[in-house]
Amino acid sequence: MKYRHACHAGNFADVVKHVVLVTLLTRLTGKDRPVFYLDTHAGRARYDLGSRDGAAEAARGILRLAGADTRGMPAPIRRYLELVRSFDPANETSLQIYPGSPCIAAALLRPEDHGALCDIEPGEAQLLAREFRGDRRFGVHCRDGFESLAALLPPKEKRGLVLIDPPYEEQLTDLERVASALVGTAERWPQGVLAAWYPIKLAAPIARFHRRLVDAGLKRLLAVELCVHPDDSRAGLNGSGVLLVNPPWKSDGDLRAALPALHAILAPDGGGRWRVDWLAGE
């Protein structure tokens, strides 16, 4: 069966990925010069949490966060929540609409920034194109996201961020494809910030994925992970991570503050773990 992100939108892994996205784009847009954003696996950009598909996982993700007292929380979490709520201002506590990564990026990017949003599924790409019809900063492409890396990078802006977020229908094949994509893109665009999402089910393939990137000589590699179950447990998805190449200055500190706060909310029984660790460089 084809992967459908509508079933997973707003789950704990989306929350972590999107807090990382907010952190990176906030730091990147803190400087004057324009940035370019490439979303290789963008999805439809807006999800209905009220539908039967999306409700169950969101209840343990974004809805848990939306129901928590976040007043003293680190800035990226508060900014993320404020942004999610802005898509559904009528529903302060029981959110119905969840923004995907393209909408989150669009809300943070400035008029002088640009982006490209790719999805290979015609239905998803059509919804994405409809969402961004009036926004001249973005191009929407119905195409293979991995191929877009070679076709669209490096951008004329020189600075920017790539989010690589494939569905991992074949986990080991996708991990291998993502590793090759990161190595190739870092060579082609050394100044670019690269972020790749990955699921954590078993610990061993993730350790191999990290080793492959370190052995390839990538200079600045940060692993950001949050698990809600112990490694190797049979829950299915025990956690997820975002591998960052060349993260912006101070974003590691932002994430070190955000991850324990997120873990306390997303794993209320204290299960699992979090980490923000340099695998190479600093």
Residue numbers at the binding site for ligand SAM (CB under 6 A):
3, 5, 17, 41-43, 100-101, 118-121, 124, 144-146, 165-167
Neighbouring residues of 129: CB distance < 8 A, sequence distance ≥ 6:
140
Peptide bond into 111 cis (omega under 30): no
- Minimum distance from residue 214 beta carbon to ligand SAM (Å): 25
CA distance 182 to 200: 18
- Minimum distance from residue 116 beta carbon to ligand SAM (Å): 12
Query: Which of 101/238 has CB closer to ligand SAM?
Result: 101
- Minimum distance from residue 128 beta carbon to ligand SAM (Å): 9
| Structure tokens, 29 | 């847009």
Query: Which of 51/190 has CB closer to ligand SAM?
Result: 51
**Helical axes 101-108 vs 75-86, angle rounded to 10°:** 110
The residues with which 115 forms a beta bridge, in sequence order, are 37, 138
Query: Which of 198/274 has CB closer to ligand SAM?
Result: 198
- Minimum distance from residue 105 beta carbon to ligand SAM (Å): 9
Looking at residue 173, its amino acid is T
Please indicate whether residue 231 is annotated as part of the active site. Answer: no
3-state SS track over 216-265: CCCCCEEEEEEECCCCCCCCCCCEEEEEEECCCCCHHHHHHHHHHHHHHH
Catalytic residue chosen out of the listed positions 14, 113, 119, 165: 165
- Closest-approach residue to ligand SAM (CB): 100
Query: Which of 121/252 has CB closer to ligand SAM?
Result: 121
Specify whether the CB–CB gap between 128 and 102 falls below 8 A. yes
What residues are labeled active site? 165
